[in-house]
Structure 1
Amino acid sequence: MRDRRRIDPETGQVRPPDLDQDPTQEEAGAEVAADAAAGPGPDQPVVDQPGQEAELKAELDERTADLQRLQAEYANYRKRIDRDREAVITQAKASVAGELLGVLDDIERAAQHGDLTGAFKAVADKLVATLERVGLEAFGHDGEPFDPSVHEAVQHDTSPEVSEPTVTAVLRRGYRIGDRIVRAALVGVTDHEPGAAPPAAEAAPGEAGDGNDWFEPVDVDAAPPERGGNHRAED
């Protein structure tokens, strides 16, 4: 057994180093043994386990599906936001235009009586042009087919000269912005007379009115008749 004490207990002197034994060799051997017991380090390659590649592929497919679903949800969200924004804009335009319909009615009455001249006409034309730019469109013309979704019938008659319910009198012009009805048109409707022969010739499509002439003749001074069951157009 080797005595490794550096001081001799008998003489009290410091012993010279043992040149036959390198102390770093024992330390290196201890480190090698510890590394062997601890297993492979993080920088060392790990042997793939059976089925590990399939598990990684399944996880990748799952994450890809999640990403695609999120992208689809975001696209639908953007479409819904754009649609809601357009609806709000249209609603705002319709609200402002609705407040000006009374002014348009007065302008139309002035045009029918020949009073729309000079500076008054210039201002009226600018107002109409401005409302047209925001999408306001007038409708309700003699000869156009009756449409209960945009026309409000307050008079009803029959005639052999028409083959279907037709607008034959416009008491108040209607207006719309896009698909939104700002105000329905008050009209008189004429239906085909039962038992009468069909008309020989019908007006070509588009002759009833092109929707651009806001001030064509209309009986705006006539008061709408009392509404009742006998004055409503039959569906």
Structure 2
Amino acid sequence: MQSQNSDPADQAGPYDRPGAQQPAEPGVPDNENAAPDQNAAAGAEDASDAGEPADASAQLALQLAERTADLQRLQAEYVNYKKRVDRDRDLSRRAGAERILADLMGVLDNIRSAREHEQMTDGFKLVAGEIEKVASRHGLEAFGEKGDPFDPRIHEALMQTQASGITEPTAAEVLQVGYKVGDRVLRPARVAVAQPAEDAPDQEA
């Protein structure tokens, strides 16, 4: 006779035993039966992987902009430096030339005086002509003529007189010519200045 008090474990189905794996639902992939926290972790990893290239591109663009700005700043500084060096070199060259020309002005005065007094011999005339050519090549110009309007910026008044027939102060006589290089006056012309004469008062008949 079969015993009616059988073991409940013997009556349980194959999937009712402890630790037995439950069958997957028909038509549903196994990964959908995964725990919700696993799915969330996988989604976070995917989002992180998708965001990394964008962050890297933005960082590269920022670095490129910074390097470009640095190069532009360096280029501007170099251009300004080159201009400053060229300007200083030009000023130094002009200052050196002006010092030499200033030393020649006395020699040129003697040449001019000898020419005015017809004391130029043939040999001296050739040498004088070469000196004047050298001075001219370096931009030295003589100025100051009788009858020029008096300009205190380029003239130095050594004498004053009055003269009729003029309406403004005028160089009545040039005592020593001036010299300039371009617009820069190395020595003003020394002149005697004639002032317009005041009209004589009318005499009563």
TM-score normalised by structure 2 residue count: 0.64
The amino acid across from 2:182 in the alignment is G
Match of 1:221 in 2: none
Q: How does 1:1-235 map to 2 (within 5 A)?
A: 48-193=52-197
Deviation at 1:191, TM superposition (A): 3.7
2:81 aligned counterpart, secondary structure: helix
**CA deviation profile, 1:139-188 (whole Å, cap 9, x unmatched):** 11223232222211112234453333332221111112233322221112
SS class of match (2:52): coil
Task: Pick the structure with more helix per residue.
Answer: 2
Q: Relative to structure 1, is the Cα distance of residues 52 and 134 closer, same or farther in structure 2, using a 3 angstrom cutoff?
A: same
RMSD: 2.5
Structure 1 position 51, deviation (Å): 4.0
SS of residue paired to 2:172: strand
Q: Which amino acid aligns with 1:164?
A: E
Q: By how many angstroms is 1:194 displaced?
A: 5.6
Alignment: residue pair count: 152
Structure possessing the higher radius of gyration over alpha carbons: 2
For structure 1, list consecutive stretches of 5 or more residues without a partner in the other structure: 1-44, 197-235
Distance in 1, Cα, partners of 2:149 & 2:73:
48
SS for the counterpart of 1:129 is helix
4+ residue runs over 6 A deviation: none
Q: Report the CA distance shift for 1:55/1:192 in structure 2 as closer, same or farther (over 3 A).
A: farther
Contact residue 90 and residue 177 of structure 1 kept, 8 A: no
* Offset from partner CA, 1:54-107 (integer Å, 9 cap, x none): 333233222222211211111111111111111111111111111122211111
Aligned to 2:18: none
Q: Please list the CA deviations of residues 89-142 of structure 1 after superposition, one character each: whole Å capped at 9, or x if unmatched.
A: 111111111112221111111111111242211111111011111111111122
Identity across the alignment (%): 44
